[in-house]
Amino acid sequence: MDTLKSILDSFSYSHQSVMILSLRKGGSALAVCNLFIDKRRQVAKGAKVTFMRRAFAIVASIGFLCSVSACGQSTQTSADGEHLTIAWWGSQDRNDKQAQVDKLFEKENPGVKIDGQFSQYSDYWQKLATGASGDQMPDIIAMDSPYFSQYADNDLLIDLQPYVDAGTLDLSEVSKATVDAGRSEEGNLYAVSSGLNAPALMYDKTLLDSLGITIPKNWTWDDFIDICREVYEASGVKTNAGYYRDVFVLQYLLRGEGKELFKNGQLNVTDESQIEPYFAMFQKGIDEGWHLDPTVFTEISLSAINQDPLIAYSDAAHRSWCNFGWSNSLPSLQSLVTNGDKLALTTWPSSNIKKSNYVHPSMYWAITKNCKNPELAARWIDFYVNNAQANKIMGTDRGVPINNKMYAVIKEGLGESDLTAIEYLRKVVEPNSSTISAPMPEKSSQINSSIMPSVQEEILYKRLDAKQAAEKFISQASAALNR
């Protein structure tokens, strides 16, 4: 197992996921290996053979382990009908809260045992893909929109509609739009949102106030670039505009122009001039000095919230005045601030905020096809959605509760940052937003975790300019979706 892990670690987790699912479908070793010659970092001349050997090694190792040792021991399914395994990603704080909710469910359901399993985001998808390859997934899993289609289309999740129809899973206090966000294109209900959030730029309000800088309402991409320059010139503090990130910001900007990044499983925007302005921001930032140097990110774990440049550093060379994230992250980020500064949040910039913005399921709960007792699993999701005490425990950790009645239940015990995040969602986003985009295509996971991050990295290391970056992104993203 250690050998398998070391080999897996040499691939991005989107590569691991697609590779394992391809093997699960019966793909040959050679065909699967050929999918990954475009590894996210450039392979030095002469290293191709080594990479191919690693690719064959991973195929052989997975095949052997899945057939001999019940692949995916870290995510075993329940051994009996009264035992549920539940997996999610997140911080220790989320883990502690989730453990309390699970204990409460056990107390109210004597004889039931919950095995909670949590990981950092990137590790989570590696473990889940390994479990899927050997039919050893947990009973209930946290799901994210970039991976939703991949798991639903591979028949790894069960339809929850029968449990809704039977009254086991009560979604009567959940809006139709929120329920429908968990449906596939065919209409099957494969997941239920675990909370609602919205795109949000978290920023150091204390710093900006001290510099006399105010973020305008309905600000544009150009406004954002101007403020990045102003902050840097006045204080030396730089910007992290989403280094090594997914396509969500690009998708948001395109929505403002009335365009969708994906449509019918394909890349819908293939005109380089429509994508170039996004990459031009990175080029300007590194050329003018106000974007964080990419070497900063080699010193931190990008998935660890306590290492975010917004809150982790005091020196200007490592510090960012902002963070492109999601509204429910504000309380956690504020709790990690050590210099007394107050954080605030506003919309991501766009040419048309109303067209761009949307209410977003922060993540989902789904029941896997390996679950031995889906009725019990549906009862657990129902408990998470509708139990007042469970909602009080979780607060806004995964976003605003989807049950419309639970906001009043949890409001009294919330802190200032939680209330700010809720007010932002309810008063800023909901009245001035549009319908969320359809779930990203099944094969978009590679675009999110490998293609887009590597293009961003190449710009910041000055290997590409914005036009070349747009060309490369379109070429590689289109190829990934057409495999």
Sequence ranges of the domains in the chain: 2-68, 78-196+360-416, 199-357+443-482
- Mean pLDDT computed over 164-186: 93
The pLDDT tens digits for 295-332 are 999 888 877 888 999 999 989 999 999 999 999 999 99
The pLDDT tens digits for 110-162 are 999 999 999 988 789 999 999 999 999 999 999 998 889 889 999 999 999 99
Instruction: Between 33 and 407, name the one with better pLDDT.
Output: 407
User: pLDDT-derived band of residue 427, with 50, 70 and 90 as boundaries?
Assistant: very high
Write out the chain in H/E/C secondary structure.
CHHHHHHHCCCCHHHHHHHHHHHHCCCCHHHHHHCCCCCCCCCCCCCHHHHHHHHHHHHHHHHHHHHHCCCCHHHCCCCCCCEEEEEEECCHHHHHHHHHHHHHHHHHCCCCEEEEEEECHHHHHHHHHHHHHCCCCCCEEEECHHHHHHHHHCCCECCCHHHHHCCCCCCCCCCHHHHHCCECCCCCECCEEEEEECEEEEEEHHHHHHHCCCCCCCCCHHHHHHHHHHHHHHHCCEECCCCCCCCHHHHHHHHHCCCCCEECCEECCCCHHHHHHHHHHHHHHHHHCCECCHHHHHHCCCCCHHHCCCCCCCCCCCCECEEEEEHHHHHHHHHCCCCCCCEEEECCCCCCHHHHCCCEEEEEEEEECCCCCHHHHHHHHHHHHHCHHHHHHHCCCCCECCCCCHHHHHHCCCCHHHHHHHHHHHHHHHHHCCCCCCCCCCCHHHHHHHHHHHHHHHHHCCCCCHHHHHHHHHHHHHHHHHC
Give yes or no for residue 10 having a pLDDT over 80: no
Q: What is the pTM of this model?
A: 0.76
Q: What angle do CA 418, 240, 459 make, to 5 degrees?
A: 145
The pLDDT tens digits for 267-292 are 999 999 999 999 999 999 999 999 99
Domains 78-196+360-416 and 199-357+443-482 share a fold: yes
Give yes or no for residue 35 having a pLDDT over 50: no
CATH number of 199-357+443-482: 3.40.190.10
- Mean pLDDT computed over 405-423: 90
Q: What is the pLDDT of residue 449?
A: 87
Q: What is the pLDDT of residue 68?
A: 31
Task: Give CA–CA dist 132/369, Å, rounded.
Answer: 10
User: pLDDT-derived band of residue 43, with 50, 70 and 90 as boundaries?
Assistant: very low
The pLDDT tens digits for 45-91 are 333 333 333 443 444 344 433 333 333 333 344 445 589 999 999 88
Contact 300, 312 (CB under 8 A): yes
Distance of alpha carbon 45 from its chain centroid, rounded? Answer: 33
The pLDDT tens digits for 80-101 are 558 999 999 988 889 999 999 9
Q: What is the pLDDT of residue 21?
A: 52
Q: Please, what CATH class does the domain formed by 78-196+360-416 belong to?
A: alpha beta
What's the whole-number average pLDDT of the chain? 85
